[in-house]
Amino acid sequence: MPTAQLLLHCPDKPGILAAVTDFITVNKGNIVYLDQYVDRVDHVFFMRLEWDLDNFLIPREKVEDYFTTLYAKKYSMDFKLYFSDRLPRMAVFVSKMSHCLYDMLARYTAGEWNVEIPLIISNHPDLKLVADRFEIPFYVFPITKDNREEQEKKELALLAENKISFIVLARYMQIISDDMINAYPHKIINIHHSFLPAFVGAKPYHAAFERGVKIIGATSHYVTSDLDAGPIIEQDVVRITHKDSIKDLVNKGRDLEKIVLSRAVLKHIERKVLTYKNKTIIFS
Amino acid sequence: MPTAQLLLHCPDKPGILAAVTDFITVNKGNIVYLDQYVDRVDHVFFMRLEWDLDNFLIPREKVEDYFTTLYAKKYSMDFKLYFSDRLPRMAVFVSKMSHCLYDMLARYTAGEWNVEIPLIISNHPDLKLVADRFEIPFYVFPITKDNREEQEKKELALLAENKISFIVLARYMQIISDDMINAYPHKIINIHHSFLPAFVGAKPYHAAFERGVKIIGATSHYVTSDLDAGPIIEQDVVRITHKDSIKDLVNKGRDLEKIVLSRAVLKHIERKVLTYKNKTIIFS
Amino acid sequence: MPTAQLLLHCPDKPGILAAVTDFITVNKGNIVYLDQYVDRVDHVFFMRLEWDLDNFLIPREKVEDYFTTLYAKKYSMDFKLYFSDRLPRMAVFVSKMSHCLYDMLARYTAGEWNVEIPLIISNHPDLKLVADRFEIPFYVFPITKDNREEQEKKELALLAENKISFIVLARYMQIISDDMINAYPHKIINIHHSFLPAFVGAKPYHAAFERGVKIIGATSHYVTSDLDAGPIIEQDVVRITHKDSIKDLVNKGRDLEKIVLSRAVLKHIERKVLTYKNKTIIFS
Amino acid sequence: MPTAQLLLHCPDKPGILAAVTDFITVNKGNIVYLDQYVDRVDHVFFMRLEWDLDNFLIPREKVEDYFTTLYAKKYSMDFKLYFSDRLPRMAVFVSKMSHCLYDMLARYTAGEWNVEIPLIISNHPDLKLVADRFEIPFYVFPITKDNREEQEKKELALLAENKISFIVLARYMQIISDDMINAYPHKIINIHHSFLPAFVGAKPYHAAFERGVKIIGATSHYVTSDLDAGPIIEQDVVRITHKDSIKDLVNKGRDLEKIVLSRAVLKHIERKVLTYKNKTIIFS
């Protein structure tokens, strides 16, 4: 049974929640999900709402229009409307490491995720075999300092052609330019192999080893033009000891990376993430 | 039954473990604890050994001398020898927050820790009531920019007079000068209210809130002249969400701080921590 | 600024949330907290709502009456109304172990908890010293098979006299009879030193050691007439290894117990726990 | 560089460690790993030792014989000797769920694990596609009450033919008979989808939901003839809330299951697990 999914935020005022839920129920929409949160410092109201479309009186193609006219303007809302049967379309960018890619493709194939993955892009040919195994088109765009702009243009054309709605960087070892970031604002998900903001940048496991930390982490975040500084979606950690070598850290971290990235991607696929002021609201 | 506790490290060579354990067993010492670790990159051997003194043939006051002559020089060992019935003597430094102090005094009073706590030092009078409740002498040394040197001298004299072997900074909100650090090298334990090296310095909960992390932490470390950069003894974390205000972070963090600090102090009391190259070896 | 705190559950129907929030806002109550949850299987609506009483048009002594008449009957609600400035009154029951007691009294004294603790009850005199240190009345009721009924009657009288609203069993090593449980339904909080439902009953650390588990836990729950089977409020775990003796388990578990119990008690004090079908709804 | 890997346990006596390490070093073996543990209650000595074979004076095919003659008999040792270049050969048993299988095959293919996987066995044809993708032979043995004995005989023949050294039950939904268990004593690794010993048997997620626990777990253990009661190798947990449906538990549990199983399998592949009295010693 298809549902409509509404995410919004607006200045907090009395009666918003009542007004919005009223809109759904008066029009015979059966609410199947509601989570809301009020930032009591900044006075901002956040909500995610989901309702069955079956007996809903407003045709789905007119919902956005009606909601804008009746509520969004009145309450200065910033909102997004999705339908559960229009799956998000995800592109995966990889380089040479396969663990995150395998983890996501296994979930995709097993039907864990309501998503389409029309293509995989890489700057190296190494993981073509993995893509072939799962019968997903694989495109190689080798990147050098000199050709980045040109190659990204081709990539953007390919993404547009495939109606890609968001991108996952699955240990993709290349800088993404601002042009691509601006084309997919808060729609590019990266996995960084440290507990951010500790160990920003390259070789975080080496840095963690040098510092002698007792716990390492991984962080999944939306990519912004600030390196490793975009809104954090999910983090997790694992305990290490003095006995762990850098290689042990890399091994333990690999499991963290794939789990943390997949949790973040799932939340995005479920349309349960709102970004606000370089942070994320994660609905339950 | 009193035991001897030996901690050592030295360049790794074949036969060290056999030689040292042989020394104990030949002299009728019953080994009750042995943990060792070899750094295979730097080729360093680390060991903690504990044996009953009861039937040990070498008198306890001569063990250090014999061991130095027979093994330490031969293998270029850096070693420390303790006796389980000579309790470490711990001074606690506090300011205004009581949670770490209460946690440690409760453990001390309940007999959880084999330690002596002859005194508590503070730069504020606020926690005198807590010290009184547990009948522990409480000394106030108000610190200003101008009198730090002078006050620390008095503190050092008081510590020496009380034969203090190590210091715990239980949310003590003052910089410790190099003079004091040098008087207690790797013998001052601090609790920092963040997951180091993230959020070094003041107001880490505010910084964590601003950054929008999904997990916060606490770190206990030995104090060195580099702020918040000494060898880490213990860390732990707790999950937070977008719903948590700075006040919530402070509350959740408080529980972390006291548990992480107490775990670190216990390891130190048990003489299970070795420092090496700004890191710690924590024996099991 | 005092607030009203409303917890309710009822059969889920469209419009409840709108109706209830409307009741507050129309009467000039400023909502400062709202968390709701719908059980989509059993079709039950749960909500916790909190609003400033300052400009609220309905006098606080009439709120319950009005709400019952206007909404509770209409929607078949089961609800509870509290006021933030009427603190819950908590009795602590202890036996011989002090760690949970110290942890709670330290929080109480430091002002972490909005609660009154008018008395401590024990079946042993051992912890009188602790109570004395915090200047809280301490009553000893030694319990034997033969005198339980009689002693509990005296305890109940003492509790009533002190207007106790809930009881915390802080490692109290006695069975509570059904009479007392019925006098405080879902208002007696216990800490069980295992990850329930594993290791129900006595000596869970011994049982965990025997079974060779790699993780131990602690569970805080409301007491019902089924031993260790009441609604679970909070649980947590800690990793152990083959190196840990039963004594190590007891030591590690002690830290878990006090943290888990204190988290559960805090949730209860904040009036953020609803029980339903032998489970708890924990509001955020 | 190939190494020898020795695991042993024996009654604890002075000098064992020295004797065994001496055996290696005297014969010019370079020790690259040593971990030992003494059970001080039962007085049992456990050790894992690994050394380079390159300059080792005793030919690899004679090491077992020499060690038996010189030490094992003398100290009543129970020991196992492996060589790092003789990879363990692992069979995977599956039914219909793919998540654990994908996780292991991805690791295998990526070279994370030093193991051979010559075949996959199932009681259903469903996962043949997965096996095909990774080009691993897949055999279907449908099991009914009536044909179990006969089918297991065929399976055992197939396992023997493929020189299988251990079996992993990756959510294999069939009882293993004692004949097969006895053919692979402590060499069949299972993943149970609960925090054992809680929720033994079928449908643990349903049982966990009913009980209202706040944390769920997964347990990997060696299979013995007692259902879900064999030596535990690894466990882990994840936090849940009242908002999680049974389906949510299944989803969250799936990630736990695959990570916990893969950690256990890795420890087994690395020959770092010793079983003793229905428990495991896990070397570091």
Q: Which residues of A touch C18 (CB under 8 A)?
A: 17-18, 21-22, 25
Question: Which pLDDT band, with edges at 50, 70 and 90, does B43 fall under?
Answer: very high
Residue A96: Cβ within 10 Å count: 13
**Cβ(B280)–Cβ(B230) below 8 Å:** no
Residue A87: Cβ within 10 Å count: 15
- Whether complex ipTM tops 0.90: yes
> What mean pLDDT is predicted for residues D128-143?
97
Quickly list H helices, A27-147.
60-67, 73-75, 99-109, 128-133
Residue of D191, D205, D214, D274 best to disrupt the C interface, most CBs of C under 10 A: D214
Residue among C98, C259, C284 minimizing CB distance to B255: C259
Burial (CB count within 10 angstroms: exposed 0-12, middle 13-18, buried 19+), residue D114: middle
User: What does the pLDDT read at residue D145?
Assistant: 85
The structure tokens 């000797």 sit at D81
CB contact under 8 A, D254 and A112: yes
Q: Which residues of D touch B15 (CB under 8 A)?
A: 21-22, 25
Hey, what are C222's tokens?
Answer: 């409301």
Instruction: Return all residues near D239 (Cβ < 8 A) that are at least 6 apart.
Output: B239, D214, D215
Point out which residues pair with C188 in neighbouring strands.
C167
Question: Which pLDDT band, with edges at 50, 70 and 90, does C40 fall under?
Answer: confident
CB contact under 8 A, A112 and D255: no
Q: Which residues of D touch B38 (CB under 8 A)?
A: 31, 34
**Closest by CA position to D6, among listed D74, D91, D89, D66:** D66
Query: For the segment A212-231, what is each residue's pLDDT rounded down to a tens digit?
Result: 999 999 999 999 999 899 99
Residue of B242, B275, B282 best to disrupt the A interface, most CBs of A under 10 A: B242
> What mean pLDDT is predicted for residues B3-10?
98
Q: Does B41 touch chain A (CB under 8 A)?
A: yes
**Cβ(B18)–Cβ(D24) below 8 Å:** no
Q: Does D17 touch chain B (CB under 8 A)?
A: yes
Q: Does D32 touch chain B (CB under 8 A)?
A: yes
Q: Give the strand pairing for C188-192 and C166-169.
A: parallel
CB contact under 8 A, D22 and B18: yes
D108: pLDDT strictly greater than 90: yes
Query: What length is written for chain D?
Result: 284
**Cβ(B273)–Cβ(B282) below 8 Å:** yes
> What mean pLDDT is predicted for residues A168-190?
96
Q: Which amino acid is at B173?
A: M
With a pLDDT cut of 70, the percent of chain C lying above it is 100
Distance CA(B234)–CA(D91), nearest Å, equals 40
Minimum Cα–Cα distance from D23: chain B residue:
B15
Point out which residues pair with C31 in neighbouring strands.
C51
Give me the torsion for CA of D247, D253, D257, D260, rounded to 10°: 180
CB contact under 8 A, B197 and A214: no
Query: For the segment D81-97, what is each residue's pLDDT rounded down to a tens digit?
Result: 999 999 999 999 999 99
Tell how far CA D24 is from the center of its chain: 27
A83: pLDDT strictly greater than 90: yes
Task: For residue B175, give how far its alpha carbon lies from the nearest alpha carbon of chain A (Å).
Answer: 22
Q: Which residues of B touch A41 (CB under 8 A)?
A: 245
Q: Which amino acid is at C8?
A: L
**Cβ(B191)–Cβ(B262) below 8 Å:** no
- The predicted model scores a pTM of 0.96
Question: Which pLDDT band, with edges at 50, 70 and 90, does A130 fall under?
Answer: very high
B139: pLDDT strictly greater than 90: yes
Q: Does D245 touch chain C (CB under 8 A)?
A: yes
Sheet holding D31-39, edge to edge: D31-39, D44-52, D3-11, D78-83
Residue among D15, D25, D34 minimizing CB distance to B15: D25
Task: For residue B103, give how far its alpha carbon lies from the nearest alpha carbon of chain C (Å).
Answer: 7
Minimum Cα–Cα distance from C213: chain D residue:
D232
**Closest by CA position to D49, among listed D76, D12, D16, D89:** D16
Tell me the domains of chain A and their CATH numbers: 3-83 (3.30.70.260), 89-282 (3.40.50.170)
User: What does the pLDDT read at residue D25?
Assistant: 87
> What mean pLDDT is predicted for residues C193-210?
94
C33: pLDDT strictly greater than 90: yes
**Closest by CA position to C266, among listed C245, C282, C243, C281:** C282
| Choice among C218-232, C258-272, D19-33, D235-249 with the minimum mean pLDDT | D19-33
> What mean pLDDT is predicted for residues D247-251?
96
Q: B155-164 long-range contacts, Cβ below 8 Å, gap at least 24? A: B155/B121, B155/B180, B156/B180, B156/B183, B158/B119, B158/B121, B159/B91, B159/B183, B162/B89, B162/B91, B162/B118, B162/B119, B163/B89, B163/B118, B164/B89, B164/B90, B164/B91, B164/B118, B164/B119
**Closest by CA position to D242, among listed C279, A270, A32:** C279
Query: For the segment D12-35, what is each residue's pLDDT rounded down to a tens digit?
Result: 988 888 889 889 989 999 899 999
> What mean pLDDT is predicted for residues C181-195?
97
User: What does the pLDDT read at residue C123?
Assistant: 97
User: What does the pLDDT read at residue D54?
Assistant: 92
DSSP string, chain D: --EEEEEEEEE--TTHHHHHHHHHHHTT--EEEEEEEEETTTTEEEEEEEEE-TT-SS-HHHHHHHHIIIIITTTT-EEEEEETTS--EEEEEE-S--HHHHHHHHHHHHT-S--EEEEEEESSSTTHHHHHHTT--EEE----TTTHHHHHHHHHHHHHHTT--EEEESS--SPPPHHHHHHSTT-EEEEESSSTTTT-SS-HHHHHHHHT-SEEEEEEEE--SSTT-S-EEEEEEEE--TT--HHHHHHHHHHHHHHHHHHHHHHHHTT-EEEETTEEEE--
Distance CA(A34)–CA(A49), nearest Å, equals 5
| Choice among A122-126, A144-148, B269-273, C219-223 with the minimum mean pLDDT | A144-148
- Considering chain A, what is the average pLDDT of its residues? 96
Query: For the segment D141-167, what is each residue's pLDDT rounded down to a tens digit?
Result: 999 989 999 999 999 999 999 999 999
A44: pLDDT strictly greater than 90: yes
User: What does the pLDDT read at residue B6?
Assistant: 98
Hey, what are B197's tokens?
Answer: 């090296």
Query: For the segment A58-68, what is each residue's pLDDT rounded down to a tens digit?
Result: 999 999 999 99
Tell how far CA A283 is from the center of its chain: 13
Burial (CB count within 10 angstroms: exposed 0-12, middle 13-18, buried 19+), residue A114: middle
Query: What length is written for chain B?
Result: 284
Query: For the segment C63-106, what is each residue's pLDDT rounded down to a tens digit?
Result: 999 999 999 999 999 999 999 999 999 999 999 999 999 999 99
Hey, what are D215's tokens?
Answer: 């944390």
User: What does the pLDDT read at residue C207?
Assistant: 96
Q: Does A18 touch chain C (CB under 8 A)?
A: yes
User: What does the pLDDT read at residue D38?
Assistant: 92
Query: For the segment A229-261, what is each residue's pLDDT rounded down to a tens digit?
Result: 999 999 999 999 999 999 999 999 999 999 999
> What mean pLDDT is predicted for residues B229-244?
97
With a pLDDT cut of 70, the percent of chain B lying above it is 100
Distance CA(B281)–CA(C135), nearest Å, equals 43
User: CA-CA distances (angstroms) from residue C278 to A168, C81, C129?
Assistant: 42, 21, 37
Task: For residue A112, give how far its alpha carbon lies from the nearest alpha carbon of chain B (Å).
Answer: 24
Question: Which pLDDT band, with edges at 50, 70 and 90, does D201 fall under?
Answer: confident
C51: pLDDT strictly greater than 90: yes
Distance CA(A137)–CA(A171), nearest Å, equals 19
Catalytic residue among B39, B65, B228, B248: B228
Q: Does C178 touch chain A (CB under 8 A)?
A: no
Q: Give the strand pairing for C116-122 and C3-11.
A: unpaired
- Considering chain D, what is the average pLDDT of its residues? 96
User: What does the pLDDT read at residue C22?
Assistant: 86
Query: For the segment B168-213, what is each residue's pLDDT rounded down to a tens digit?
Result: 999 999 999 999 999 999 999 999 999 999 999 889 999 999 999 9
Distance CA(A165)–CA(A186), nearest Å, equals 11
CB contact under 8 A, C106 and B99: yes
Residue C114 CA neighbour count, 13 Å, CB half: 11
C28: pLDDT strictly greater than 90: yes
User: What does the pLDDT read at residue C142?
Assistant: 97
Q: Which residues of C touch D198 (CB under 8 A)?
A: 195-198
CB contact under 8 A, B231 and A212: yes
C15: pLDDT strictly greater than 90: no
User: CA-CA distances (angstroms) from residue A213 to A225, B260, D251?
Assistant: 28, 14, 32
Q: Which residues of A touch C17 (CB under 8 A)?
A: 17-18, 21, 34
Tell how far CA D262 is from the center of its chain: 9
Q: What φ, ψ does residue B173 adopt, rounded to 5°?
A: -95, 50
Give me the torsion for CA of B101, B106, B107, B111, rounded to 10°: 140
Q: Does D145 touch chain C (CB under 8 A)?
A: no
Minimum Cα–Cα distance from A195: chain B residue:
B198
B40: pLDDT strictly greater than 90: no
Catalytic residue among A22, A228, A236, A244: A228
**Closest by CA position to D190, among listed D58, D94, D118, D49:** D94
CB contact under 8 A, D98 and A110: yes
- Considering chain C, what is the average pLDDT of its residues? 96
> What mean pLDDT is predicted for residues B236-255?
96
Q: Which residues of D132-144 are buried (b: 16+ CB within 10 A; e: fewer)?
A: ebbebebeebebe
Distance CA(A10)–CA(A16), nearest Å, equals 9
Query: For the segment B76-129, what is each residue's pLDDT rounded down to a tens digit?
Result: 999 999 999 999 999 999 999 999 999 999 999 999 999 999 999 999 999 999
**Cβ(D177)–Cβ(D148) below 8 Å:** yes
User: CA-CA distances (angstroms) from residue D32 to B43, B75, D2, D262?
Assistant: 10, 19, 11, 25
Hey, what are D261's tokens?
Answer: 């199983």
Residue C101: Cβ within 10 Å count: 27
**Cβ(A105)–Cβ(A117) below 8 Å:** yes
Question: Which pLDDT band, with edges at 50, 70 and 90, does B249 fall under?
Answer: very high
Question: Which pLDDT band, with edges at 50, 70 and 90, does B256 fall under?
Answer: very high
Query: For the segment C129-163, what is each residue's pLDDT rounded down to a tens digit?
Result: 999 999 999 999 999 989 999 999 999 999 999 99
